[in-house]
Amino acid sequence: MGEVFEYILLASVLLLSLYGCVELVRSITLRILKTEGPISGILVLPIQGSCKDMEFVVRAAVSRSRWISDNPSQVLILDKGMDFDTRTLAEKLCNEYENVILGSPNECDKIF
């Protein structure tokens, strides 16, 4: 019984060590690639009609923006004629993530 616990503990330590190494590499990379001034970016995702994988696309964009920088860029879901269910999902994603915005092409001047 003690031997099984020892293997579980060893596997846990190895996984946490691997996670720490990945975060160290990420931190070093961000420090090397850091620019002088803040650069803000907006990733625009135009959605038209019904988009089955919109949630996956938005979550992937948010994850990528967080991985690239400690200051994540904005993700704009551009409504180019979404159906009701897709728009409801987009609004829920906007409430879940602070850097996700829902807008229409007419509102682009205000956002940019």
**Domain co-membership, 56 together with 19:** no
State residue 74 phi and psi, 5-degree precision: -75, 145
State residue 89 phi and psi, 5-degree precision: -65, -40
pLDDT at 20: 95
- Computed on alpha carbons and rounded to an integer, the radius of gyration of the chain in Å comes to 20
Task: Tell me how many domains the chain contains.
Answer: 2
pLDDT tens column, 60-91:
888 888 777 667 778 888 888 888 888 888 88
**Domain co-membership, 30 together with 70:** no
**Domain co-membership, 16 together with 65:** no
**Domain co-membership, 43 together with 25:** no
**Domain co-membership, 43 together with 15:** no
Q: How confident is the model at residue 24 (pLDDT cuts 50, 70, 90)?
A: very high
Domain that holds residue 23: 1-34
37 pLDDT above the threshold of 70? no
**Domain co-membership, 19 together with 50:** no
How many Å separate Cα 20 from the centre of its chain? Answer: 20
